[in-house]
């Protein structure tokens, strides 16, 4: 298996543990429904989570 694939699988598992599978599905729906604006909101939330976790 390629290194990139391994990293993506680990990241997916980490996201599911942190947020829960249903929350990820809800966010994916929001991105789909709102387009780029939904994606921007999602990325901002991810940045906040990582910032809080690192500090």
pLDDT of 50 above 90: no
pLDDT of 51 above 80: no
Q: Give the pLDDT confidence of 4-48 residue by residue, as tens digits.
A: 888 888 888 887 887 788 888 888 898 999 999 989 988 888 888
State the SS3 of 1-55. Answer: CCHHHHHHHHHHHHHHHHHCHHHHHHHHHHHHHHCHHHHHHHHHHHHHHHHHHHC
pLDDT of 55 reads: 67
- Whole-model pTM over 0.85: no
């Amino acid at each position: 298996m390629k290194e990139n694939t391994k990293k993506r699988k680990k990241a997916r598992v980490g996201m599911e543990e942190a947020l829960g599978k249903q929350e990820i599905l809800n966010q994916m729906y929001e991105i789909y429904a709102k387009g780029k604006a939904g994606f921007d909101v999602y990325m901002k939330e991810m940045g906040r989570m990582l910032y809080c976790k690192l500090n």
